[in-house]
Structure 1
């Protein structure tokens, strides 16, 4: 067995060093080994149970006995949870009303208010704008014969689109990226005090900016998402200031962070496959399947966590109220019981949707936007640069559970 991975099938225990490059550079190989040995296991280093089977993860995402929040039904003292860290006060405040962290009825109310801007028919109107931006960016580097794609293309498209949707001036995009990169450090395994301090500082600056921008919009309403969030819903309800800050931050972060990774992951995947990209993007249906397959086999977000809201048993594991469990979406996407030959990239695969966007009430609100950006930008990129190739070995980020590249150098 690999040094970074040890199984104990007798009691479903697993030891796995998530910071080992042999794991995070090619996690799919490890996921295949986990499926073969024990898809449900107690991860020693993380000190909680994890689930990787497609059916189990899909069920858990929809099971209301599990939630993103726990302190709405029990106090920290009751659950034996540590008190919040003082040096993370600004981060905790920004997360306090996050769509990602709430349960009904608060979650239902917030999601209803925000969902007005993310329905598919609204998102589809952005396609010409995304296409024009993709062409503009390629115009800027095509003549040089090479490019680092993440910095010049993959980062710019999603952050520009979500900033314009929300109503953030485009000259703030670089700052948004910096805040977002620091903010999401809180979600990685093995985070340090420096990571926490940077995330807290980013949260404070991010929140202050959103409050200032909201004040401007109250005086100067525009046709953007921020103005929409400042207006009442049909029942007359408004977002509070805390809700507005949390929601804007999560939309800006989620609206670009994963898509940046996925554009890089997909281009790397397609170039390595040696398959004909003209066939992959021959028509809208082929493009849709290609993009879905890239999300399945190279998901940008690998893990969601859930709190256990009542004593129960799941997959033979007794769980207590207040336990936290992990759902490895990227591994569920590779379940051989669901997908044939799951480690192989098959752009025409049509075996049902992956779990990369989650499921249930917390299904990713930005999924239509992420899919549209991918389905629009990738065909343009491969059409404009048909001889594109890897210039050097891509650098995988030293971050788990976000899977993406630090660099993707291409030539043509």
Structure 2
């Protein structure tokens, strides 16, 4: 159990996000928070956080909050520091990111991209995902052991999203490297060295994408990137900067969380002792198992938003314009008021939706793709390797935001 201090009266919580006992298994801390103050002021973070399912779900949809703030206030007004010069390339990629925008810019961008991610379009990828899953397993099935993240969990989603976009699959190692270096920026208090490295990765990623975009303009193809280049809304097309940001986001988000979720799911299922043949016996059983893995071992634990005005929440929390709040998706998924015995892995559970993909305006655009990949890849993996087991206790990444494994060594 991590060291956690809770003042129930003042609703203040002290907990070190870098404490291995916390980030390796935050469920015990979440249980304490749910029992004492699911809306709390996190001392170390100096902002309000929310853990209850109903409130997190409502705040994700509440238009009084947004992912950006400078469209309604100035830096001077809010006392925000100036952008860091050494992060200019990282910030440039973020500037037009769907994840960071609010309407009307968000609406325009999302409309141009959304068509490729609706379920009927994604369903057409089923044969590709199945074929690739088998091909990857073929490459290590006779070895008797594998480190699953690099050999399977990383390669599958990055290959699929690259093919969708029309990015050469041979670039996958670079795409993964750039992505991993960039997402380190989202942990609490990244170091100066991390910032420099993320900025360099952003610059290299953007340069690469500009080259690909130029080639697509010269030679259009039947892929998502060409679609984004040529699509119009109200007579407008995406600018090069918007194309670069959107493509980088889709490549990063299109695999980063899915990698963690495949690893988390395999670890969870193997540690549960439940027979995989039952968990994946039918499409319905598979879907329930996948949703329970998403609930119980979510890859993303925090989604942050700004108060766009002075707000008084019903919970007695007073927020000023520009205040940041943290929505604990991982905690909401184990709220005992929503899920019975929430800290137990029960694949037959059918108690409503998890919030692992968010909700509202910024609901994950790639959710249908991620769900299809999980619903196909996990059964194939367990059918092909029915005797696989954990070689050792997997090490959890030192990053509270993203709950994932450093590596996942399996033997059979």
- TM-score tier by shorter-chain length is over 0.9
Q: Which residue of 2 aligns with 1:237?
A: 236
Q: CA deviation at 1:324?
A: 0.5
Q: Which runs of 4+ in 1 moved over 4 A?
A: none
Q: Distance in 2 between matches of 1:188 and 1:307?
A: 18
Q: Which residue of 1 aligns with 2:113?
A: 114
Q: Which residue of 1 aligns with 2:371?
A: 371
Instruction: Tell me if structure 1 keeps the 8 A contact 2:2–2:29.
Output: no
Q: Distance in 2 between matches of 1:379 and 1:163?
A: 23
Q: CA deviation at 1:329?
A: 0.4
Q: Distance in 2 between matches of 1:120 and 1:3?
A: 41
Q: Distance in 2 between matches of 1:302 and 1:3?
A: 17
Q: CA deviation at 1:119?
A: 0.7
Cα deviation per residue 1:330-356 (whole Å; 9 max; x = unaligned)?
000000000000000011111111000
Q: Distance in 2 between matches of 1:65 and 1:279?
A: 45
Q: Which residue of 2 aligns with 1:151?
A: 150
Instruction: Tell me if structure 1 keeps the 8 A contact 2:108–2:233.
Output: no
Give the number of aligned pairs: 411
Matches within 5 A, 1:338-353: 338-353=338-353
Cα deviation per residue 1:350-395 (whole Å; 9 max; x = unaligned)?
1111000000010000000000000000000000111111111111
Q: Which residue of 1 aligns with 2:87?
A: 88
Alignment pair present for 1:171 and 2:170 = yes
2:225 alignment partner, SS class: helix
Matches within 5 A, 1:237-386: 237-314=236-313, 315-386=315-386
Q: Distance in 1 between matches of 2:77 and 2:96?
A: 22
Q: Which residue of 2 aligns with 1:104?
A: 103
1:115 alignment partner, SS class: helix
1:305 alignment partner, SS class: strand
1:348 alignment partner, SS class: coil
Q: Which residue of 2 aligns with 1:204?
A: 203
TM-score, normalising length: structure 2: 0.99
Cα deviation per residue 1:14-72 (whole Å; 9 max; x = unaligned)?
11100010001111111111111111110011110000000100000000000101000
Give RMSD over aligned pairs. Answer: 0.9
Q: Distance in 1 between matches of 2:401 and 2:231?
A: 37
Q: CA deviation at 1:188?
A: 0.5
Q: CA deviation at 1:235?
A: 3.3
Q: CA deviation at 1:4?
A: 2.8
Q: Distance in 1 between matches of 2:177 and 2:283?
A: 34
Q: CA deviation at 1:232?
A: 2.3
Q: Which residue of 1 aligns with 2:401?
A: 401
Unaligned runs of 5+ in 1: none
Q: Distance in 2 between matches of 1:281 and 1:328?
A: 29
2:369 alignment partner, SS class: helix
Q: Distance in 1 between matches of 2:235 and 2:411?
A: 54
Instruction: Tell me if structure 1 keeps the 8 A contact 2:165–2:225.
Output: yes
Moved more, 351-360 or 27-36: 27-36
Q: Which residue of 1 aligns with 2:141?
A: 142
Q: Which residue of 1 aligns with 2:218?
A: 219
Q: Distance in 2 between matches of 1:143 and 1:93?
A: 46
Q: Which residue of 2 aligns with 1:30?
A: 29
2:48 alignment partner, SS class: strand
Cα deviation per residue 1:277-306 (whole Å; 9 max; x = unaligned)?
111111111111100000001000000001
Cα deviation per residue 1:202-258 (whole Å; 9 max; x = unaligned)?
111111111110000001111111101101235332001111111011100000000
Q: CA deviation at 1:116?
A: 1.2
Cα deviation per residue 1:115-152 (whole Å; 9 max; x = unaligned)?
01111101000011001011011111011111111011
